[in-house]
A = this chain, B = another copy of it.
Amino acid sequence: MLLKDLGEESLIEHLARKFNVPHRRIIRAIGDDAAVTVERENTCLLTTTDILIEGIHFSLEYSQPYQLGRKLLSISLSDIAAMGGEPLFFLVSIALPRECSVEFLEELYEGIGDCASEFGVYLIGGNTSASDGKVILGSTLLGEAGKDEVITRGGAHPGDIVYVTGTLGDAALGLKVLKGSKGSAAGRDILKGPCREAVKRHLDPMPRVKAGRALAEKRLATSMIDISDGLVREIKRLASVSGVGAVIESHKLPISETLKERVSKDPGEMNLALAGGEDYELLFTSPPEKTQFIIELARELDLPITPVGKIFPKQRGVEVVDEKGTPVKPTKDGFEHFE
């Protein structure tokens, strides 16, 4: 069945049946002019919104609708994680071509629904519309954090250590592999190949919600940002808002075994970890005296948390150096939307 045969009204009813589960803080979800929810006392409301456009942010040649649905929510979850917040409620905007199949939409919602269950967040509204050929998706996620828990980009101090969670560059490697395989028979074997984890990181990234929340609750981070547009770009953003400088040591960057192997053959591949987009790992700063707590947290979460540099006074600027202290210049410092 095609969407044009189903109609918008039936679609919304279908979604309301699937997603309208009772929650004591949701007074009104799908099916009214706006969602109605109740906040907890003494918390801040965190709000983030993202948009995914076919041909710009994803390709249906690589992405299944299920993965797309997951990713739509995951990138917003990553933003709330980067504030140290607890994600709660979300809305989605979905614009699909009239000739789109109902199955496509169902798989999309299956992905959204599974991701929502995993992170304990609830769909409370949104909108649907036709598009003129491209799939366009939007998400808005609400979260909250105690008033003294919120971790902004603005609190890094000289002397703080710079940390990143997980590994860097895999998502960019995954995208590179997907692009390289385009149209070839090898493409279908990618998910069995050595880069399958990297491909998965690109198609279905894992937002670090638990880590972000734990850093906030334990008051371990002075500033935090998620790495969506590449490490170098993000440390520059964080340093700019905090009014500090920073030195990143490229040889300390945590990279996967797969990327390590590629770097051993071509050192230029290290650029994927420095400037490749869509890692959705957390980049944060913490004073040296908290080192032991960070080590313990990494163990608790079963997630690598790696010191990769240090915060300096503003005059120092932001630079990346190799193990000899020689400045390294990434060929492109992250993902620039309008370049």
Contacts and interface: CB of A to CB of B under 8 A. Distances in A.
Interface of A: 3-4, 6-9, 11, 27-28, 31-39, 41, 44-51, 53, 55-57, 78-80, 82-83, 85, 89, 91, 93, 95, 98, 124-132, 134, 136, 138, 140-143, 145, 147, 150, 152-154, 224-226, 237, 241, 336-339
Chain B CB within 10 Å, residue with most, of A31, A51, A152: A51
A85 to B, nearest CB: 7
B93 A32 contact: no
Which of A36, A53, A89 counts the most chain B CB atoms within 10 A? A36
A184 to B, nearest CB: 24
A51 B82 contact: no
B82 A33 contact: yes
Given A4-B338, A152-B28, A337-B128, A91 B36 contact: no
A339 B57 CA distance: 27
9 contacts: A4-B338, A28-B152, A32-B152, A34-B80, A34-B143, A37-B45, A41-B41, A45-B45, A50-B93
A337 B339 CA distance: 33
Nearest to A92: B49
Given A7-B336, A153-B33, A49 B126 contact: yes
Question: Which 6 A-B pairs give the minimum distances between C-beta atoms?
Answer: A34-B48, A33-B82, A34-B46, A33-B79, A51-B93, A140-B140
Given A241-B31, A338-B3, A49 B128 contact: no
Given A8-B338, A39-B45, A95-B56, A32 B83 contact: yes
Nearest to A47: B35
Query: Which of A3, A53, A337 has the largest count of B CB atoms less than 10 A from its CB?
Result: A337
Copies of this chain, complex-wide, total 2
A38 B83 CA distance: 15
Contacts of A51: 93, 95, 127, 129, 136, 138
A126 to B, nearest CB: 6
A129 B53 contact: yes
A242 to B, nearest CB: 11
Contacts of A145: 36
Contacts of A49: 49, 91, 93, 125-127, 138, 140
B338 A98 contact: yes
B83 A338 contact: no
A34 B79 contact: yes
A237 B31 CA distance: 9
A53 B124 CA distance: 22
| Most chain B beta-carbon neighbours within 10 Å: one of A3, A6, A138, A141 | A138
A44 B91 CA distance: 16
A129 B47 contact: no
